[in-house]
Amino acid sequence: MNTTPEASYDAIAEWYDNFVRTEPLLYEVVIPETLRLVEETGSLADADICDLACGQGVIARALALRGARVTGVDISEKLLSLARSRPVTATHAITWRYDDAQVGRTLATAAFDGVVCNMALMDIPDLNATLRTVARVLRPDGWFVVSINHPCVHMPYSTWMQRLDGTTIRGSGDYFAEGYWKPLDAPGVRGRVGTHHRTLSTYLNALCDAGLVVRRTVEPLASEFLLERMPGYRSLPPALLMRCEKTGEG
């Protein structure tokens, strides 16, 4: 019996595929910073890495090109179909699996040297279950690299505003209103599938509870092209990235 929940991204798969390939927040800022954190371990040759909630496989293919053995996991069959349709010439073929990150039923315990989750935790309802999956499938001393919308910038009812001098700022919203919300004025991903907002302390405590210790954090600067489209990021971080290590039992 299929117990994997329906994927909201199936309904927007084609649009989202184009968005990922053309959105400067992703391809000029988040994806390069994510890969940089992954490469802090050194060579990825023959490393076993899980791209959790991999979507159409942008990160998975980049890791495979660096010599890793990559398993991409997602609950969107349509995004996985797009991932499979774009093979990459690499030392190891990528394995694609249809699975729920909150359970990881197809992922063996202690199977991976590292796990990457790129801009996807906000899509997943059960944060704690997902991080338990990460800790379970990691080998001792394994690493976890995650990128998310910065929770101190993107929160329920927050919005971009313009000062009298013409500069753009972010109007704060209800930071403590944790849970699912869908901004009505956002033309991008969140306006289509919504997001699960959590405070920064909720993320950090959930990582600690799962036995994943934060070793490095990055609040990246926006690229010039991104600033042309979204000038408010000149004074705010567009995302939050963390590199964690598994300690103890996890």
Contact between 119 and 29 under an 8 Å Cβ cutoff? The reply is: no
Token pair for residue 234? 């000149």
Number of domains in the chain: 1
10 Å Cβ neighbour count for 107? 20
**Averaging pLDDT over each range in 5-14, 82-91, 94-103, which range is the top one?**
94-103
Does residue 187 lie within any of the structural domains? no
* In-domain check, residue 179: no
Residues 6+ apart with CB under 8 A from 177: 155, 156, 157, 197
pLDDT at residue 132 above 50?
A: yes
At 184-227, the pLDDT tens digits run: 767 788 889 999 999 999 999 999 999 999 999 999 999 999 99
Given a cut of 60, whether residue 232 has pLDDT beyond it is: yes
Amino acid at 232: G
Q: Cα-Cα-Cα-Cα dihedral of 25, 28, 34, 39, to 10°?
A: 180
Q: Read off the DSSP letter of residue 168.
A: E
Please indicate, yes or no, if residue 224 is contained in any of the structural domains: yes
Within 8 A by CB and 6+ apart from 182, the residues are 190, 191, 193, 194, 195
Looking at the domain assignment, is residue 59 inside a domain?
yes
Is 123 a member of any domain? yes
Which of the four pLDDT bands, split at 50, 70 and 90, describes residue 41?
A: confident
3-state secondary structure of 186: coil
pLDDT for 188: 83
**Rounded mean pLDDT of 128-150?**
97
Residue 66's CATH number = 3.40.50.150
For residue 56, what are the domain limits?
A: 8-149+199-246
Task: Give the 3-state secondary structure of residue 38.
Answer: helix
The Cβ of residue 160 has, within 10 Å, a number of other Cβ atoms equal to: 14
131, pLDDT greater than 90: yes
The model carries a pTM of 0.94
Cβ atoms within 10 A of the Cβ of 201, count? 9
Helix axes 58-65, 31-38, angle to 10 degrees: 40
Residue 157 maps to a domain: no
Q: What is the pLDDT of residue 248?
A: 66
Nearest to 35 by CA among 241, 189, 222, 249: 241
In a domain, 183, yes or no: no
Residue 34 has pLDDT above 80, yes or no: yes
Q: What is the pLDDT at residue 112?
A: 98
> How large is the average pLDDT for residues 165-190?
88
Q: Is 192 exposed, middle or buried (0-12, 13-18, 19+ CB in 10 A)?
A: middle
* 193 within some domain: no
Residue 6: the pLDDT is 53
Collect all residues with Cβ–Cβ distance below 8 Å to 113 and sequence separation of at least 6: 41, 47, 48, 49, 138, 139, 142, 143
